[in-house]
Each structure stands twice: as C-alpha cells, then as structure tokens.
C-alpha cells in the first residue's frame, strides 16, 4: 500500500494519458458495440475484481438489454507490480454452461490472466466468451488473447486510474495517468 503522501506525489508528477471526457466517451462507445453484438444473447456479464469495478459500474447502466451479472476475482499480481502465478480468489457463482459470457476487465496488459479466464470459462461449457476491456496496452508483442471490445489504447507505461492502481492507490480516478518516467 502506498502511503497517502507518496500517492499524492505520484499523481502530482504523473502524465495524463486519457482525460475524463475521453474515458466517458470510450465507455459509451463500448456500450453501443456490446449492445449491437449481444442484445439478443441474454449474456452472463462477469466483472473481474477489483480493477474492473469502475468500468463495469459505468458500463452496465448503458446496456439496454437483459443480462445476468456476477463477478470473479483472479490475479497474477497480488501486492506486486509484476505478474506471477495465477490465483483464483473467487469463481463465478452463476451457471456458465451453455451461456454467452462477457468478461469485463480494466486492462488487457500481457493477456495472460484474461487468456486463462477465457480458457476456464470455455472449459466450463460457455458457448461463447467475449472480452470487454476499458484499456488495451500496446506492449509491442503478440498477446495470448484479444479483447472483443476496447475502450482506449494505451502506451506501454505504468498506468493508473479508472480502476487501475499504483501500489493500491488511485483506482478511483475518472481519468488514466502514467507514472512519470515509467
């Protein structure tokens, strides 16, 4: 956990990457794309805790079709900034088999976590598994999974805000920032 004074300094020195108005427009656009694609599917929407809570909370009210909502909690990071072994903390309670599933997450970084989530859902019998991310980071190499719906594209920097954190801080920001020098 980043102490409050250090967290404020990180924000004060950070570069604004995605302004609040751009983030809000990206959510509206993605909601329209999802509505066009899944309006007749009565999908199960799974939010990936905890990063996706901001994106999911803004996205769901814009989807004007029936859906079932649940969540999952899986991580490779814990309290670190580099990915490790995948850890399933909470599995979805809803029935997966035979369903169209939409996984909602904050960022598609290396793609290892989302690839594992998609693989597991398909193994559990999902008939279709789509992925919506607020941000897709350009890491300069191929990823094991691609998002079907993307809000914004980000440079390969350490970003925070709009659900993404910097050492536990600033998930609550309505815009996206990059740590200075990273």
138 part of the active site:
no
CA separation for the pair 135, 150 (Å, rounded): 6
Long-range contacts of 112-121 (CB under 8 A, 24+ apart): 112/76, 112/83, 112/86, 112/144, 113/48, 113/74, 113/75, 113/76, 113/83, 113/86, 114/48, 114/145, 114/147, 115/143, 115/144, 115/145, 116/74, 116/86, 117/48, 117/72, 117/74, 118/145, 121/46, 121/96
The DSSP letter of residue 161 is B
61: which DSSP letter?
G
Nearest to 145 by CA among 176, 103, 181: 103
- Which residue is catalytic, options 12, 15, 79, 109? 109
Active-site positions? Answer: 109
């Amino acid at each position: 956990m980043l102490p409050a004074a250090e967290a404020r300094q990180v924000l004060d020195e950070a570069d604004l990457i995605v302004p609040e108005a751009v983030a809000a427009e990206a959510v509206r656009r993605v909601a329209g794309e999802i509505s066009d694609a899944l309006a007749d599917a009565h999908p199960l929407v799974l939010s990936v805790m905890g990063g996706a809570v901001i994106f999911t909370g803004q996205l769901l009210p814009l989807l004007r079709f029936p859906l079932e909502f649940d969540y999952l909690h899986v991580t490779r990071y814990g309290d670190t900034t580099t990915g490790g072994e995948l850890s399933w903390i909470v599995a979805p309670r809803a029935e997966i088999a035979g369903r169209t599933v939409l996984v909602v997450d904050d960022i598609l970084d290396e793609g290892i976590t989302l690839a594992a989530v998609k693989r597991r859902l398909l193994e559990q019998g999902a008939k279709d598994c789509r992925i919506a991310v607020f941000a897709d980071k350009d890491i300069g190499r191929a990823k094991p999974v691609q998002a079907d719906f993307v809000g914004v594209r980000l440079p390969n920097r350490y970003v925070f805000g709009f659900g993404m954190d910097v050492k536990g801080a600033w998930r609550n920001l309505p815009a996206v920032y990059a740590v200075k020098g990273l």
